[in-house]
Structure 1
């Protein structure tokens, strides 16, 4: 698993893995982060959270899988 930088999670994803990747990076609960994100987005004027999520989806790289082979 990658430990530095932000990435879109391959295992903790519901839509694109953005919140799952952030949660994995900082050791947070992904579902709790999603709930907080949605609540903040709804309470903000004009729903800028949707735009932020889309930008993060485009900017954050996908998590690289490490394949281990037995030789």
Structure 2
């Protein structure tokens, strides 16, 4: 299994769903649909997504390209 990181390739917003899908070997579209479906239920889903966006580190490859730009 890969390390849990936000990825820069194939992401739609912050790379959280793509990173989770890659880490656990799931289809990224299933993770995205599950997140959107969970937003229909009451709870702090958006706050959780933002927290994960801040806590999960960006992949090293993307961080290196950002530093040289």
TM-score by length of 2: 0.79
Equivalent residues of 1:12, 1:21 under 8 A apart: no
Decide which of 6, 22, 35 is 1:37's aligned counterpart.
35
Decide which of 42, 53, 57 is 1:57's aligned counterpart.
53
Any stretches of 5+ residues in structure 1 without a counterpart? none
Aligned to 1:27: 25
Q: How many residues align?
A: 63
Any stretches of 5+ residues in structure 2 without a counterpart? 65-69
CA RMSD of aligned residues (A): 2.1
TM-score by length of 1: 0.77
Give structure 1 regions of 4+ aligned residues with deviation exceeding 3 angstroms.
none
